[in-house]
Structure 1
Amino acid sequence: MAKSVQARRFRLVFFSACAAALCGMYVSLTNGTFDISIADIVRTLLRMDPSREHDLVIFEFRLPRILIGALVGFALGVAGAALQGMTRNALADPGILGIHAAAGASVVLGMFLFHGTMRSPGWLTVMTMPMFGWVGGIAAVVLLYLFARRHGELEPQRLILVGIALGSGFSALTLYISLKMNPQDFEMATVWLSGSIYSATWKHVVTILPWLLILVPVIWRKAPILDLLQLNEASVKGLGVRTKRERQILLLCCAGLVSACVTVSGSIGFVGLIAPHMARRLIGIPYKYIVPACGAIGMALVVVGDFIGKTVFAPAQLPVGIVISIIGVPYFIYLLYRSRRR
């Protein structure tokens, strides 16, 4: 009975989040500096009497941006669910653990080495940047393992403290590298690091898509393991789970997803923190439901947040990372207050 209730709740939450994301996509596609009716969009997409202006606005500016927002939000939601599950820590998040900052520092280093090629990126540059981000993410994972372990096991409290320290260190490194750039590259890096997707292109969509198609199914297949990892360490090992190996696989998958997201969108924080909390409150514990629900909630957060950033403050555009942070910082303080009272 409980499983059927959870399944119904999952379907309701998943399809509601997808509906919210689709509504955000619709208003983002139709509204802006140049408004387009839904009839014109349908005619343009189906190639029925298309116009060059509509092709330019839809295919070059709005559609890649919307798709990048949806993919990044989905990936960050899934990564946040996996990190919180494997660490048994409700405050674990790619940004708080320093993975965002490490991947960002590595990508900024790539920008510095490529010397301005990111301003008009070709396929080689766009496909190379995720590897820079992945190296940075792996570096953060290795450092977390080195400094957050006690008696060979990850400690939740030490993990948060080490993650905050790593985030500060990598942010300082990013600032140092940025100051070595020429003014044009520095301006581009600053806007990008704030979590902006306004310059998204189809190349960026192609760049992030393989990482999601490979790593998200791996994490979802590990849902039974994530359920078992909620038990105490002795019980998990008694059930025959190779905890160290499973955590390493999950950490590598999360690092890959976060690094790919940072490459195309900069640092968008708090999605991986908020989505799992919302999913657990609405659905329950089973990770076979939590993982896809977190992806859908994260997708809705980023798509709607990007629409707010580009319309509420028009003609200026506020990066989606700042919009999510405005929501996420008070929520994080609330979670810290709740965890302190327990």
Structure 2
Amino acid sequence: MRNAAGRFGLVFGAGIVLVLAAFYFSLTSGTFDMSVAEVVRTLLRIDSSHEFDLVVFEFRLPRIVLGALVGIALGTAGGVIQGVTRNGLADPGILGINAGAGMAVVLFMFLFQGQLTMTGWAGVMMMPMFGVAGGLAATGAIYMFAREGGRLDPQRLILVGIAIASGFGAVTMYFSLKMNPKDYEMAVAWLAGSLHSANWKFVATMIPWLLILPVIIWSRAHVLDLFQLSEESVKSVGVSVEREKRLLLLCSIGLVSASVAVSGSIGFVGLIAPHLARQLVGLKHRYMLPVSGLAGMAIVMIGDLIGRTVFAPAELPAGIVVSVIGVPYFVYLLFRMRKS
């Protein structure tokens, strides 16, 4: 136990250092380069200028913070979904939860186009609610088609998830094509998983979800450990299996939907982060979930940094950068699981 706790502390500390490095490079790098001294003076309000204030407080800082929050949410949700389904290939994007939430948010944009601004408080607060409804619809469809004999079949789960994601994607495209050209451009950029439109209102709408849901999830870490056993064994120790699954999945859907509402669909974070966490700190969810959230934070922040700086003056959405890494990693995991 001491060794596990010590290893967790070491890994978590190293992760914090990596995140701080990504934060530093994200804050100082870009089309408008700033020195460390200029950034510090701007943050501390020492002889700051209007140009530096605009770059730091209006463009870069909300984007960095939002990327960090989205990464935590997706990494944590991915760890929970893999634990509940006992499937190492499960991921909010692969299972169609991202697609369901994305479809609902695009529907929101379509219904309220020209009436609510996407950056106004009304739009910002309502989008996560639509996202949760879409995520719940996707999860309901998964439960309907992937259950066999009252249980979720891990093999059918992936196939059903891919089919559901394709179906929701088709509906999303239909509503997108019905939009006017300006709203269509915004919807397409958002669906790619971009943090380009990040602002402090988006950050504010993410915070309540992250203050409540990860705490609930972490308090059920011992239940996720038990879920790695057979359902009969879990029931024998007095755990209400279906009730706990519903609670944990609802928390995961809330995190994913809130993330999709403010950043679009950034896939594969929920797949990669839990695998990295298990390799670093082991299978106990008490240690794995915080590391998975931290890994998700680093992945999104570094992906956004690469997309914003490497391809400058053009900008590549963080979702595309992460997918370039995630697709080969998914194929690697698929072949490794087939061999085992």
Aligned to 1:107: 105
Residue of structure 2 aligned with 1:303, choices 301, 309, 330: 301
Aligned to 2:30: 32
Residue 120 of structure 1: how far off its partner (Å): 5.6
Residue 11 of structure 1: how far off its partner (Å): 1.4
Tell which deviates more after alignment, 151-160 or 88-97: 151-160
Aligned to 1:19: 17
Aligned to 1:5: 3
Residue 119 of structure 1: how far off its partner (Å): 5.5
C-alpha contact 2:73 2:255 (8 A) present in aligned 1: yes
Give CA deviations for 1:128-157 in whole Å, capped at 9, x if unaligned.
Answer: 111010110111111111111111111111
Aligned to 2:320: 322
Matches within 5 A, 1:1-342: 3-116=1-114, 121-342=119-340
Equivalent position amino acid for 1:17 in 2: G
Secondary structure in 1 matching 2:252: helix
C-alpha contact 1:279 1:290 (8 A) present in aligned 2: yes
Residue 4 of structure 1: how far off its partner (Å): 1.7
Counterpart CA distance in 1 for 2:14 and 2:317 is 25
Equivalent position amino acid for 1:167 in 2: A
Equivalent position amino acid for 1:66 in 2: I
Counterpart CA distance in 2 for 1:118 and 1:338 is 48
Tell which deviates more after alignment, 271-280 or 44-53: 44-53
- Please, what is the CA RMSD of the aligned residues? 1.0
C-alpha contact 2:117 2:123 (8 A) present in aligned 1: no
Give CA deviations for 1:152-196 in whole Å, capped at 9, x if unaligned.
Answer: 111111211111111010001000110000011111100110000
Distance change (3 Å), C-alpha of 1:264 and 1:117: farther
Residue 7 of structure 1: how far off its partner (Å): 1.4
Residue 121 of structure 1: how far off its partner (Å): 2.4
Secondary structure in 2 matching 1:53: helix
C-alpha contact 2:206 2:258 (8 A) present in aligned 1: yes
C-alpha contact 1:111 1:117 (8 A) present in aligned 2: no
In structure 1, runs of 5+ residues without a counterpart are none
Counterpart CA distance in 2 for 1:89 and 1:51 is 52
Counterpart CA distance in 1 for 2:118 and 2:221 is 40
Counterpart CA distance in 2 for 1:326 and 1:6 is 33
Residue 116 of structure 1: how far off its partner (Å): 4.0
Counterpart CA distance in 1 for 2:264 and 2:187 is 9
The TM-score, its normalising length taken from structure 2, stands at: 0.98
Q: How many residues align?
A: 340
Equivalent position amino acid for 2:13 in 1: F
Residue 282 of structure 1: how far off its partner (Å): 1.3
C-alpha contact 1:18 1:297 (8 A) present in aligned 2: no
Percent identical residues: 62
Give CA deviations for 1:64-114 in whole Å, capped at 9, x if unaligned.
Answer: 000010000011000000000111110010001100000000000000111
Counterpart CA distance in 1 for 2:57 and 2:115 is 23
The TM-score, its normalising length taken from structure 1, stands at: 0.97
Counterpart CA distance in 2 for 1:314 and 1:238 is 58
Equivalent position amino acid for 2:141 in 1: L
